[in-house]
Structure 1
Amino acid sequence: MRFWRSWCAVAGVLAALVAVATHTSLVPATARQATPAAQPAWSAAWMTALQQPNANQNWSKQGFANQSVRQVIRLSSGGSDVRIRISNQYGVRPLELTGATVAKAAKGAAVVPGSVQPMRFGGADSVSIPAGGQLTGDAVPLPSLTSGTQLAITLYFAGQTGPATFHEFGATGASYRAAGDQLTNGGKAYRETSGGWYFLAGVDVTPASGGSVVAFGDSITNGYTAAPGRRYPDLLAARLAPSGRPVLNAGLGGNRLLTDSACYGESGLTRFHRDVLDEPGTTTALVLIGVNDLGYPALPPTTCTTPNPPITSAQLISGYRALIRDAHARGIIVVGVTLSPFRGASVYTAHSAQLRTAVNAWITTSGEFDAVADFASALADPVDPARLAPKYDSGDHLHPNEAGYRVMADAVDLKTL
């Protein structure tokens, strides 16, 4: 017995020595005395829904060649460090990014003096992103980042990019273009503007917030007719700012829940995973999509609306259920938003109005969403509930004006988020 105990002790010492030797052989000598630092937790503070290039008046079809593109974005939450995500989702070849910088934005394309910092990828200034791929940059310290801080993110492409993965957005001045390497330029070189974001998928901050709210939808969520910073998700973000929780805008103009479009992006069913479930820190989704599914069959077919199948309320409800199921599988709360009135709009018919009524009744009464935000009631004309109230109508009888977007933001019960 004494011999057995002695042998166990020796074996234990030998095992410990082997373990130490094995461990230290894998750790650089300079790091052996240090306790490994915990990885920072990141959450998205800005993102956009990406789509394939199109032939509209933007820079997506031709892409960039020996050009810098400066893109101004507004953070929905603050932090101490920032990183960017670059996407080549719809690229047909590798995207060669020559360099990138991030800075605090001033007016237009200008930046706050002294705030420009290089953005690297795995320590490298230049990087290649494969077709269909996405890459996240290294952390960059930027002090005093708060909700509402505007950042200028500049990308330089020395070679030809080919058609650009992008987001088409109606607010002008979102992006600026200049010839050559203008990564650190103060702003004067940027004389061309475009209402879109190019290759830029998201901006993350650390430390992480209390959980992101993603507003998922079509042009109404995207903020058609709204000034920058005045879309309903922006106004909702202002309400949530004291809590530190960001509200991210995953709206895409013209988008449908059930059907892809050459101009208006992949269906909501397809992009929900990328634009909601895979966003860092998502805890809640607001779902407002379906008007285009109901209304496009009333329009003459175009390359943008084809295919254009008629749908039933049951098909749309089945689509919502798929979103709910996938979100719940990730532990994400889903708030259903009623479809707003649109009598008088180009997509209005008696049939599409009947479908909207049936869908909204299901959203509000089925109990399948975790909560409901009743935008339809908040925006409706008291005299004719099928129509937007005149004080909230942008003029096309479909998209709200700024007062309407504010009513929408105020109609969300923050406790449900």
Structure 2
Amino acid sequence: MRLLIATALTLLSLAPAPAHATTGRWTGTWATAMQRPFPGAYNPNWSETGFENQSVRQIVRISVGGDRVRIRLSNRYGTAPLRLTGATLARAGEGAATGEPVRVTFAGDPQAVVQAGRDLVSDPVRIRVSPRERLATTFYFHGPTGPASFHDWAMDTAYRAPGDQRFATSGAAFTESSKSWYFLTGVEVTGRARGSVAVFGDSVTDGTSSTHGADRRYPDRLAERLLADGKPLGVLNTGLSGNRVLNDSTCFGERAGDRFRRDVLDRPGVRAVVVMQGVNDVGFPTWDYHCAKPNPVVSAEQLIEGHRALIRAAKARGLTVVGGTIVPFKNSFMYSDAGEATRDAVNHWIRTSGEYDAVADFDKVLADGDVLRPEYDPGDALHPNDAGLKAMADAVDLDVLWDATK
């Protein structure tokens, strides 16, 4: 059915927008946080080897629609310029199949060079897209890319094929697959959207225990609620599994304060941010895993100061900041009584201090006492399942997000 819909909508790809269409400012409709190449916490990936004479096709579901689309590539962790031979954008079908692809250009050129440590935004593509539509980007790299900036825990599928398959609508050539995203860090639109909300956090926001390929992360559910309530706001998932507020990791990214600007503040059209982070800060001291180090014990006061830095940065940009209470983790692999005491103290501050503009009490909706409710527990006592992630989305006050656009 998805393929039939994609084929039918392809005819609209290059059609001119009607005279009454609104062409607004650019705003994000999809995003992901980039991280350094590494073998992967649980699944193998292609980040360390990169690509050469290969095409990479990636499927993402956008949150709001628009009249024009552009994509954002990242070479944030590259050590040399990234040379992109060409790219296309299409409506996704089943698997790696697509509708008719449209060429993507950069300053009028189908080829692009993304300097090391930088991002690059494409030219606008005149393709009208709908809320919750799944889009496919295909990148072709003729020469070697070197190690790839990527997002490890995509909860979706990327596909790889030999040679230049940018304009292939069949997925037959894409015989290899990965559970990560590569180089693609954002999709942006113009249209009737009033802006976007960034959802910032760790593996819970990333959707680690959601159903693979089903778009059931809590930011996905939040986007669905906004759409159903007639509030055209993009939702950007900038969660990063294993990420912490106070300490960096070679595998799990820079600490929250260091990545907050590029993953939230520098995204176009952001009007509000929901922050839910800290469980890894209180839990990692018990975890003897090389990528969890350094893993010093942190105090509630230190963690609160880390949150305050995020609040100050967001408010300096005029954003509404919603604080999410830290989710329960008792009986998980990284639980300790000391960590639980710190979590409780930070949650009390989030609820009562008034320093956040509003509170989304995720702990309240997820916990039975100090433990993740059985109906929300996928088995690790830490990462909510699909039902728990929906409950999280339901705990966010939509009016607070919408008021941020006024």
TM-score normalised per structure 1: 0.88
Which residue among 52, 61, 69 is the counterpart of 2:36? 52
Residue 244 of structure 1: CA displacement? 1.1
**Which of 108, 124, 143 in structure 2 is aligned with 1:139?**
124
3-state SS of 2:53 partner: strand
**Residue identity in the other structure for 1:262:** T
Deviation, structure 1 residue 243: 1.3
Question: Is 1:117 matched up with 2:102?
Answer: yes
Matches within 5 A, 1:18-417: 41-56=25-40, 57-112=44-99, 115-143=100-128, 145-169=129-153, 171-173=155-157, 175-186=158-169, 187-207=171-191, 209-227=193-211, 228-241=214-227, 242-300=230-288, 302-381=289-368, 385-417=369-401
Who is 2:12 aligned against?
A: none
- One-letter amino acid of the counterpart of residue 400, structure 1: P
Counterpart for residue 35 of structure 1: none
Relative distance call for 1:322 and 1:52 in structure 2 (3 A) is: same
Provide the secondary structure at the position in 2 that maps to 1:79. coil
Q: Map Cα deviations across residues 8-64 of structure 1 (whole Å, 9 max, x no partner).
A: xxxxxxxxxxxxxxxxxxxxxxxxxxxxxx995110111101101002210100000
SS at match of 1:409: helix
User: How many residue pairs get matched?
Assistant: 372
> Which runs of 5 or more residues in structure 1 are unaligned?
1-37
1:416 shift after superposition: 1.8
CA contact (8 A) 1:43 1:208 kept: no
1:170 Cα shift? 5.1
Q: Which moved more, 1:242-251 or 1:323-332?
A: 242-251
Residue equivalent to 2:9: none
SS state at 2:143 partner? strand
1:300-332, Cα deviation, whole Å (9 max, x unpaired)? 2x3201111111000000000000001000000
Query: What is the rounded CA distance, in whole Å, between the counterparts of 1:380 and 1:259 in structure 2?
Result: 26
Q: Which moved more, 1:304-313 or 1:205-214?
A: 205-214
Shift of 1:291: 0.3
What is the one-letter code of the residue matched to 2:119? Answer: Q
Per-residue deviation at 1:299? 1.3
Question: One-letter code of the match for 1:177?
Answer: R
Consecutive unaligned residues of structure 2, counting only runs of 5 or more, are: 1-21, 402-406
Secondary structure of residue in 2 paired with 1:274? helix
| Cα deviation, residue 127, structure 1 | 1.2
Question: Within 1, Cα distance between the matches of 2:223 and 2:391?
Answer: 14
Q: Distance in 1 between matches of 2:25 and 2:273?
A: 20
Residue identity opposite 2:378 in structure 1: S
Asked whether the 8 Å contact 2:66–2:192 carries over to 1, the reply is yes
Tell me the amino acid that sits aligned with residue 346 of structure 2: V
One-letter amino acid matched to 1:257: V
Q: CA deviation at 1:246?
A: 1.3
Residues 68 and 177 in structure 1, CA contact (< 8 A), matched pair in contact too: yes
Residue identity matched to 1:191: T
Q: Which amino acid aligns with 2:269?
A: G
RMSD across aligned positions (CA): 1.2
Q: Is the 8 A contact 2:150 2:182 kept in 1?
A: yes
Q: CA deviation at 1:208?
A: 5.4
- Indicate if the aligned counterparts of 1:45 and 1:246 stay in contact, CA closer than 8 A: yes
| Alignment-mate amino acid for residue 249 of structure 2 | S
The one-letter code matched in structure 1 to 2:70 is: R
CA distance in 2, matches of 1:211, 1:83: 15
| Whole-Å separation in 2 of the counterparts to 1:184 and 1:104 | 12
**CA distance in structure 2 between the partners assigned to 1:40 and 1:98 by the alignment:** 30
Amino acid at match of 1:188: A
CA distance in 2, matches of 1:367, 1:224: 30
Partner SS, residue 142 of structure 2:
strand
In the TM superposition, what whole-angstrom CA distance separates every residue of 1:242-263 from its partner, at most 9, and x where no partner exists? 2111111000011111111011
- The Cα of 1:171 is off from its aligned counterpart by 2.1
Code of the residue aligned with 2:87 in structure 1: it is A
1:380 counterpart letter in structure 2: A
Going from structure 1 to structure 2, the CA distance change for 1:172 and 1:201 (only over 3 Å counts) comes to: closer
* Structure of higher CA gyration radius: 1
Distance in structure 2 (CA, Å) of the matches to 1:211 and 1:304: 36
